[in-house]
Amino acid sequence: MDVFESLESEVRSYCRGWPAVFHRASGSHLYDEEGHRFLDFFAGAGTLNYGHNNPQLKQKLLDYLADDNIVHSLDMHTVAKRSFLETFQEVILAPRGLDYRIQFPGPAGAASVEAALKLARKYTGRETVISFTNAFHGMSLGALAVTGNSMKRSGAGIPLGHTIPMPFDNYLDGRTPDFLLFERLLDDSGSGLDTPAAVIVETVQGEGGLNVASPEWLRGLAELCERHDMLLIVDDVQMGCGRTGPFFSFETAGIVPDIVCLSKSLSGYGLPFALTLLKPELDVWEPGEHNGTFRGPNPAFVTATAAMDFWDGEGLEKQTLTKGEQIEDALGRIAATHPESITGVRGRGLAQGLAFADAEAAPAVCGQAFDRRLLLETSGPEDEVVKLLPPLTTSPDELAEGLDIIAASVEAVVA
């Protein structure tokens, strides 16, 4: 471990909770350099929905590289990009009746968010963007401005302005009607709230603690945006690509956002790749007005195109929902066994977790799970939630194995 301690920045985080040197990975497992096998309920923070080194994606990538095809191309036309665009339109957008232009903003989710915010402001001519309590949208300055976590925001080193936070669904425990404060501020010319350009929201707040927005709340938000001429941006970076069941996490609410941010599992293989989807009338960019060196990740186009095979039909969606029920049932039993310590089960699909009354318990449970060779992370403003993000391809038996480890780890901490 000495080389990491002596040369790598103190900013590293995940490795502190998982003191191992990983070497290989396959499916739902990682292996350290000593050959120990770890079950992965982290999946690259939701980047590996189809597991590590998925064979069908890997072979497509190896074949592409072996033939000396284009790797880097900025925004030039390439065969790989054309294949991705055609397949994404045919398999994902058209069956859902979605009419979006596709922008390649850069390699990461934060780049997609930055493009969305910038475009919303350009299109509307307004500056203010509404975000929500406990939101997380990325670590670049624009994305941080619409992020709620105070520790992450403080790292900016400068004021983060032109954004206003509003209560997320059930933030006030049902004590006030949805959007009462928000709409009152919009209607009152004396409120001090400038007419917003846009609202940005996660349907399930992954880093914020697995807080789920109900379909009714999301529909209300979409209607509010329409009434007040605000653009609706859905950040589907972590919860998209099937994490909650449907390919887009907003599908169950029956809404059509103006702009959608995608990344993480979009490449299917862990390769950096992001999209910003925008309604055609919003495509007011001048050529080169928003660009970047790594907008043409052709290896990611190849694996992302291959990953669309998982979405030819409803098989993966149904499997994910079934596995989500398996997780919810098991976590519910754990919570019922320790009602004094666990305040509830949170999340949806294959993004679920346990919320603890004592914030220190959640990282302790993750530590116990690591000792039993299961990788878990925490989330929430106080890291009070043990968060499960297994690959969508994890088998029911592997899920059962991991859930048994979680039950034992919770018992070890709270007993």
pLDDT, tens digit, for every residue of 370-408? 999 999 999 999 999 999 999 999 999 999 999 999 999
What is the per-residue pLDDT for 190? 95
Whichever domain contains 374, its CATH number is: 3.90.1150.10
Residue at a domain's end among 277, 311, 345: 311
How many domains, in total, are found in the chain? 2
Q: What are phi and psi of 383, to 5 degrees?
A: 55, 40
Domain span including residue 23: 2-54+315-414
Distance in angstroms (rounded) separating the CA atoms of residues 26 and 31? 9
Q: Quick one: pLDDT at residue 334?
A: 98
Can you tell me whether residue 309 is helix, strand or coil? Answer: helix
**pLDDT (0 to 100) of residue 387:** 98
b/e map of 53-87 (b: 16 or more CB within 10 Å)? ebeebeebbeebeeeeeeeebeeeebebbebbeeb
If asked whether residues 119 and 196 sit together in one domain, one would say yes
Below-70 pLDDT ranges, the chain: none
| Residue where one domain finishes, among candidates 294, 311, 328 | 311
- Phi (first) and psi of residue 340, to 5 degrees: -75, -20
Which residue reads 């400068």 in tokens? Answer: 158
Q: Could you tell me the CA-to-CA distances from 219 to 65, 72, 163, 214, 276 in Å, in that order?
A: 44, 40, 22, 9, 21
Q: Are residues 143 and 101 in the same domain?
A: yes
Q: Say if residue 289 is in the same domain as residue 323.
A: no
List Cα–Cα distances, 90 to 10, 96, 314, in angstroms: 45, 10, 15
Q: What is the pLDDT of residue 106?
A: 93
Shared domain check, 9 and 122: no
Query: Distance of CA 272 to CAs 60, 69, 146, 234, 348, Å?
Result: 17, 18, 22, 20, 25
